Amino acid sequence: MYPAGMEERIAKVEATRERRLKEAFPRITLDEKTPLLRVFHPDYVDGAMREVLVGPNKGDCTPNELADLLEGNSRINPDEINLEAIDYDVDVLVIGGGGAGASAALLAQEQGANVLLATKLRLGDANTVGAQAGTQAADRPNDSPAIHYMDVMGGGGFTNIPELVEALVKDAPEVIQWLEQLGVIWDKEPDGSLHELSGGGASRRRLHSARDYTGLEEMRVLRDEVRNRQIDVLEFAPVVELILDDKGQAAGAVLMNLETREMSLVRAKAVVIATGGGGRLHYQDYPTTNHYGATADGLIIAYRAGAKLIFIDTMQYHPTGVAYPQQIVGQLITEKVRTLGAQLTNIDGEQFIHQLDTRDVVASAIIRECRERGKGLVTSTGQPGVWLDSPMIDIIRGKGTILRELPAMYRQFKRFDIDMTEEPILAYPTLHYQNGGILINADAATEIPGLFAAGEVEGGVHGRNRLIGNSTLDILVFGRRAGRSAGQWAKKAKLGSPSLDHVRRWQNQLKKTGLASTRPISPKLLPDYTRHGQTVGV
Amino acid sequence: MNEKAKMVDIYIMGKRYQVPEGLTIMQALEYAGYQLIRGVGCRGGFCGACATVYQVKGDPQLKYDLACQTVVQPNTYLVQIPFFPAEKATYDLEELEPTVEQILEAYPDLAKCFGCNTCTKSCPQDLEVMWFMSDALRGDISEVANKSFDCVMCGLCAARCPQGIVPYNIALLCRRLQGRYLAPRTKHLEDRLAEIKAGKFDAELEELENMSEDELRRRYAERDIEAA
């Protein structure tokens, strides 16, 4: 049940539903897309970004909050660290315990490497578990990796790095099979064919799902496999700096015990960064769908070690974050709700954008509808939103579809007494994904020898806008590639003497430019939602 | 959620705090001043990190929920369960068979279930835990997979089981057996893998990679779109 004032508004959505069920709302053209984004996409809001003042991306723009951290002060004083006192000596260190990190650890071990996986919270605490809609892979007869390639490039505004997209689309079917052999349960038809749906910007049905718990199912299995293969895992152990050797190769890392604050040292012949994104930095005060630990730590440590970043001026705002109830504002309403047929309508019950245009477009259109046209609904807490007409799903696809295909979504709203099979839900864009990140090649190698990156922390695969179902694909494809590459690198790597000179040089540069006294300590590690912090976290 | 909201009393490990009404349990803990390290994760109801046991004054029944998905009630006594040392069997999935014998070999305690239903009552996802444990005992792996599918592995069932059974890990084993051995095979996936291996798409991908942006844009705009 909604409060009385909102209940009355729903009548307008219901009144147009029958007409809308037959209405074909046009998709946006490439010519219409650019001006819409330029005016309404959050990436283009004046004052929200600034140039980075130091480091490999000096002069490039990025959100203010990220720029401050990229220019931040180290958590360690290199002079106080004895690099001879090694606590863990391994072939491959994997930083991050989400889908990309777990995949990398498994593949590195298959190369014969002795692997340590260190992660900030628990193994599996990552955005992976919140991914709902599915994983793209072109495996149906009317589809092909080439068609998938075209969709990815178009979604990214034709800015993506071609060799990375090729890797993504070509490995995709293999990744689906790999997961199934590990015991992931894909949604299937009784004859064994995969039950695949489409999504925004996809021209074929190629989303492989596990109800709307796809990422959770993938992570549960990967985590269990990491444990079965007895890979060493250190939890509550974020990396605060990388260690290089005197030849500039990756040589290990400094870990911090998140509870005791004690530092420990890892020596490794190869390092994989798989730390995810930065939604918890709340760019422009947006709420986020992201995991509590998503504070861009991997970008910070890689950047300080000299790695080049790419597309750090583009973030993804998921079109449909929860706008009501207040307790869960900004949490994800999976795009699968729109895939299954739910349309977006304004306060008058009218469509204003095709629900399956790309995420950058749909998010911008919702912002335009609320801000410029005044056709959004504003809740009692001042939160704007548009309607997502979820009851259409069961009308189009048969009663019971929502309960079968969207149990997580149904449960989420039911906990707050809203039945999405009966009533529409209110949505507004929410900070969702870091489109860019550390520059890699198709082997997941960064520009620093021996340093690899996989998943949301890397950039170039998705250009300026990622499509639905390509993030869980990215973590698996590049997680596997990074693990394999790191395992192979470790076999032949000859480490020089370990060094934190890059941190010394960094701090000297901050002092010289006057930034040392004005910039925060980074990586940030955790957001602060205590009363004395600024915001109530969702 | 402004500062003028009505305040309610909550008790964190027995100590009283006042928080605005309407917050989730997680937000209430944070409002009270805790910067959480344990007992917090995805904040969206998927990761199971914030499993919480609580009691409301005057009602002796324990309640179980996810802190990120539950509005805090006045006069609530909160207990976070950030860690529970539940047993997990180590196995090589490739060497298993989808049988009840294998499940019991990995988790012999399963046979000690006496049907008290405490696991079901403690599940914050409202899953029928005791029923899928009884399915597991009968070797009906597909049914365990189906009934347990929405499990976020918070571990409350294992923490509360008087017999030391670990339902969420048993269900995980069953789901993996289902996906690996019992789900029907997919011919169109196998066909596609063979085509990729044979290099069927290499020339077309290479052409696309070397194509001018204008030509790529033209082809993109003209591509046909299958119904969702």
Pick the residue of A139, A193, A320 with the most B CBs within 10 A to test the interface with B by mutation.
Answer: A139
Across the interface, do A531 and B49 touch by the CB < 8 Å criterion?
no
The per-residue b/e assignment along B125-148, b for 16 or more CB within 10 angstroms, e otherwise, is: bebebbbbbbbbbebbbbbbbebb
Which amino acid is located at A339 in the chain?
T
Q: Name residues 115-154 of chain B within 8 A of A (Cβ).
A: 125-126, 145, 149-150, 152-153
Is A528 within 8 Å of chain B by CB? yes
- Chain B positions touching A177 (Cβ under 8 A) are 189-190, 193
Whether the predicted pLDDT of B179 surpasses 50: yes
List, for residues B59-81, the tens digit of each pLDDT value.
999 999 999 999 999 999 998 88
The A residues from 255 to 314 touching B (CB cutoff 8 Å) are 258-259, 289, 291-292
**pLDDT, position A398:** 98
Q: What pTM does this model have?
A: 0.97
C-alpha dihedral, A397 to A183 to A115 to A296, nearest 10°: 10
Predicted local distance difference test score (pLDDT) of residue A534: 47
Does the pLDDT of residue A536 top 90, yes or no?
no
* Interval A10-41: pLDDT, tens: 999 999 999 999 998 999 999 999 999 999 99
Residue B220 near chain A (CB below 8 Å): yes
**Burial category of A260 from C-beta neighbours within 10 Å (exposed 0-12, middle 13-18, buried 19 and up):** exposed
Please list every residue in chain B whose beta carbon sits closer than 8 Å to the beta carbon of residue A326: 1, 22
Domains along chain A? 4-40+318-430 (3.90.700.10), 78-131+215-314+435-501 (3.50.50.60)
Contacts of A536 in chain B (CB under 8 A): 1, 23, 27, 30-31
Residue A419, min C-alpha distance to chain B (Å):
16
* Residue of A408, A423, A343 lying closest to A209 (CA atoms): A408
Is the pLDDT reported for residue A242 higher than 90?
yes
pLDDT score, position A531: 78
Is the pLDDT at B1 greater than 50? The verdict is: no
Catalytic residue numbers of A, as ranges: 318, 338
Q: Distance from B187 to chain A by nearest Cα, in Å?
A: 7
Given CB atoms, is A87 within the 8 Å cutoff of chain B?
no
A465 with A156: CB under 8 angstroms? yes
Name the percent of chain A lying above pLDDT 90.
98
Q: Give buried/exposed letters for A308-343 (b at 16+ CB in 10 A, else e).
A: bbbbbbbbbbbbbbbbbbbbbbbbbbbbbbbbbbbb
Q: Which domains occur in chain B, in start order?
A: 7-80 (3.10.20.740), 84-215 (1.10.1060)
Angle of helix A214-228 relative to helix A471-492, nearest 10 degrees, comes to: 20
User: What is the rounded distance in angstroms from the CA atom of residue B26 to the CA atom of residue B31?
Assistant: 9
pLDDT at A505: 98
Chain B residues close to A199, C-beta within 8 Å: 228
